[in-house]
Structure 1
Amino acid sequence: MVDEYLDIPYIASQPQTPFHKFDIYVPREIKTSSLCLLICFVHGGAWRSEDKSDHAVLARNLALSTGYPVAVPNYRLTPREATPDNIVRHPEHAKDILHFLEFICTAPDPRSSVESLSIHTHADDGATTGLPYQPQRLLLLGHSCAAHMLCTIFLDMPHGGRLYSSDIVLARTTTLVLSEGIYDIDTLLSSFPSYRKWFIEAVFGVHDSYADVSMTNAATKSGCGHIRWLIIHSKGDTLVDERQSQMAYDHLKSRAVEVCKSLDELIDEHNEILRGNQYIEIIRRHIQKIVATLE
């Protein structure tokens, strides 16, 4: 069984927006560990679509399979009909995820505030409350465009919009697991030129080259040397080619980052991998290895 705490705000603002809320799934038979691990799954959707609720089944299954709580945040999306008043462009999506991670690491002790959250229903919209689970270590999963967003947070991207994480977020993040990721926009467009008009220009602006937002041009960030990375890609993915993941893996290796890859275990389509058992099994095995080295 899994207890579900839904629509917890991670930014205190009025009026509350659904884009700045997250859900957390806590297994009742939680693994007892001094590490207090929390898995955070950040969804994809080309920076323009999807919602945390779309991944409720995945979150429940991850929680049950691993024995650790799973949090799924929303973030602002680039609107399909953009105007000067509503445009959301890179790195604003990643900024929201960074706000979420800062909240996760600094929220009040749940023993004093968990009563204000409702199991299987919605948290009070009026205030930012404590967590039903207090993590000491974070295991971050990013799918598709979310892989790029996490790279923006945990690497020094070459452009001027780089993000600065607090020491506590960097210290508590143990591993990054990135699946079907977008890492190098120019290379992506060479394989899928239609993506330029579909979502790239809306998200990053109109440019001849997007090298300045490429993860493969990013430097390592101070305070992240302990983080282990796993790059996952499915042989059946027709939306993002394997070259993206291989480039990401090669770049991290060249920077002496501790990274491994799984490029030949999955065979399903881009989003279908999230509905199968094999993806969860890969995550479970990776977490098992991480925990073995930390305890």
Structure 2
Amino acid sequence: MNPSVEVVKQCDIRYPGEYDSARALDLYLPSLDIAESSKRPVLIGHSAGAHLTGLLALKSINCATPTKTRLDQTASIRGVIGIEGIYSLSDLAKTFPTYVPWFIERAFMRDPLLWDKASPKEVAISMLSEKSHIADVTLPRYLLIHSPEDELVNMEQTNDYAAALQSINVDVEVCINISGSHDDILKNPELHDRLAKFISSLEF
């Protein structure tokens, strides 16, 4: 029997609609009945969608308290897959300055401090000082994929985010050998096989 996986994906989002998308996902996950394993989703995001899934997974960890632990949200996430994601807005601004006015500032305003608060890599790094706070949290497994041919997002975004996740004990796999441009990678059968392999390896 094939595992049932619910895929949350970004469709016709227009900036600054990313905030509304994140809010919708944030409201959706707690509504899942974690007793029903078929409703525990694998979050899959590409580009800005990977940014959203990263924030969502880390938020559920960061909000854990003695009375609201991993069972509230984190346990409802089975795994996370990020494909050519944007994980640090500050790094993106340094590497691609032309992205600042038409993308970063339109979605996240002009304050770089706000960019860091909205960046999965920086959020993960900030959690290093709170390891005791997340010690009892079961973190979802992660797969990060980045094509060496990506012309829109540099591979350091993925490598640096992987290192940040590993620093807070997230089980991370990194795949950087699937070819394709930023969008064309989604058409590559090798990507589809890699996603299926990772999802099949998760506990259902």
TM-score calculated relative to the size of structure 1? 0.56
Q: Higher helix fraction: Structure 1 or Structure 2?
A: 2
Spell out the pairing of 1:35-114 with structure 2 (5 A cutoff): 37-43=4-10, 50-51=11-12, 77-78=14-15, 88=17, 90=19, 92-103=20-31, 105-106=32-33
TM-score calculated relative to the size of structure 2? 0.79
Structure 1 residue aligned with 2:64: none
Q: Higher strand fraction: Structure 1 or Structure 2?
A: 1
Higher relative contact order (CA 8 A, sep 6+): 2
Determine whether 1:215 maps to 2:128.
Answer: no
Mapped contact 1:153–1:165 kept (Cα < 8 A): no
Percent identical among aligned pairs is 24
Spell out the pairing of 1:1-295 with structure 2 (5 A cutoff): 31=1, 37-43=4-10, 50-51=11-12, 77-78=14-15, 88=17, 90=19, 92-103=20-31, 105-106=32-33, 135-156=38-59, 167-209=71-113, 210-218=115-123, 219=127, 222=134, 224-264=137-177, 266-290=178-202, 294=203
Deviations 1:5-51 (A, max 9, x none): xxxxxxxxxxxxxxxxxxxxxxxxxx35xxx53231423xxxxxx43
- Structure number with larger C-alpha Rg: 1
Mapped contact 2:29–2:76 kept (Cα < 8 A): no
- The verdict on how the C-alpha distance between 1:231 and 1:190 changes in structure 2, with shifts beyond 3 A counting, is same
Q: C-alpha displacement at 1:202, in angstroms?
A: 0.6
Mapped contact 1:89–1:202 kept (Cα < 8 A): no
Structure 2 residue ranges without an equivalent (≥5): 61-67
Deviations 1:173-197 (A, max 9, x none): 1110111000111111111111001
Aligned-residue RMSD, C-alpha: 3.0
- Amino acid of the residue matched to residue 53 of structure 2? L
- Amino acid of the residue matched to residue 182 of structure 2? H
Q: C-alpha displacement at 1:146, in angstroms?
A: 1.4
Which stretch of the first structure deviates more once superposed, 215-224 or 254-263? 215-224
SS of aligned partner of 2:6:
strand
How many residues end up aligned between the 2 structures?
Answer: 188
- Amino acid of the residue matched to residue 145 of structure 1? A
CA distance in 1 between counterparts of 2:161 and 2:18 reads 23
Mapped contact 1:37–1:139 kept (Cα < 8 A): no
Structure 1 residue ranges without an equivalent (≥5): 1-30, 44-49, 52-75, 80-87, 110-133, 158-163
CA distance in 1 between counterparts of 2:101 and 2:148 reads 26
